[in-house]
Amino acid sequence: MYGLIFDADSIRKLLKDFNLLTGVNISFASFDYKYVVSLPRVDNSFCKKLRRNSLMDKKCLECDKLAFETAEKTRDFFIYKCHAGLTEAISPVIDNGRIIGYLFMGKIMTEEPTKEVWNKIVRNFEGYDLDYSELENSFYLCPSLSREKIEAAARIMDISARYICLNKLAKLKSRPLIENIKEYINNNLDKNISTEELSRRFNISQSHLCHTIRQELNMTITEYRLKGRITKACDLLEKTELSVKAIAENVGFSDQNFFAREFKKIMGSTPSQYRTKL
């Protein structure tokens, strides 16, 4: 199993230069679809307001995942429209024939955000519980570029992906077993992963698996997963406006009351009280 090591400062400078040149948001993600460097960020209030709705947020995540998977198959950059009608592009970072990461740019309109364009875009959101008036106001603030300029920016992004490898700003490195186990659990907090599934994935016995986690983390798999779920819930309470119910589901709790009880055991307050303190 491998992990990604990268020069965050150098990649951040590269992304900043790209942003200054094009005015477009750009991020660097690892081979396992995690965004690891995203500076600078041009505020896109339209997307933020859209993602307050848990169903819309889920569609955004699914759209991103599909982009990553497509780039992994084609092994080339491509431009596409997200489910909300905004244009994005992705470029795989390939080193010695292996994808080690992705550059991802976007949330751009290919035409000026006018009333006429809004009337077409809003059809994508029919039937969802959204504040359409507030959403429309933020829509008019969306950045826009011509298709020609977006294509030019995407080509520069692809060159930047090659630059990252050429200058060894990112590379893969083998990691200890416990780090791979932790990462897999953290990436699947919404699922009740069994020790049987973990032992099969990492090709070790269940007893060896449990011993490794107990020895390295001083807790059981269940305890580690619960801690991870609560940590992620705290992050969502702080950084999003998702409801407590939506956050509970996002981190793997089907019962909101049970989530609140477990949250309070660890954090000393209910999720709502935690958010209020913030």
Domain extents for the chain? 2-173, 177-277
In percent, the amount of the chain with pLDDT more than 70 equals: 98
Residue written as token pair 């035409």: 111
Same fold, 2-173 and 177-277: no
**143-163: average pLDDT:** 95
pLDDT score recorded for residue 96: 85
pLDDT score recorded for residue 40: 58
**5-33: average pLDDT:** 93
Q: What is the CATH topology of the domain spanning 2-173?
A: Beta-Lactamase (3.30.450)
Positions of E strands within 67-169: 78-81, 87-95, 98-108
C-alpha to C-alpha distance for 99 and 84, rounded to whole angstroms: 28
C-alpha to C-alpha distance for 161 and 46, rounded to whole angstroms: 28
> Does the global pTM surpass 0.85?
no
Structure tokens at 160: 């930047």
pLDDT score recorded for residue 167: 95
Out of 3.30.413.10, 3.30.1490.100, 1.10.10.60, 3.40.190.10, select the CATH number for domain 177-277.
Answer: 1.10.10.60
Condensed to tens digits (0 to 9), the pLDDT of residues 171-200 reads: 988 778 898 899 899 999 988 888 999 998
What long-range pairs does 173-180 form, CB within 8 A, spacing at least 24? 173/2, 173/3, 173/4, 173/5, 174/1, 174/2, 174/3, 175/1, 175/2, 175/3, 177/1, 177/202, 177/204, 177/212, 178/212, 178/213, 178/216, 178/217, 179/3, 180/1, 180/3
Q: What is the mean pLDDT of the chain?
A: 91
pLDDT score recorded for residue 101: 95
pLDDT score recorded for residue 264: 94
C-alpha to C-alpha distance for 164 and 96, rounded to whole angstroms: 13
Q: Are 103 and 91 in contact (CB under 8 A)?
A: yes
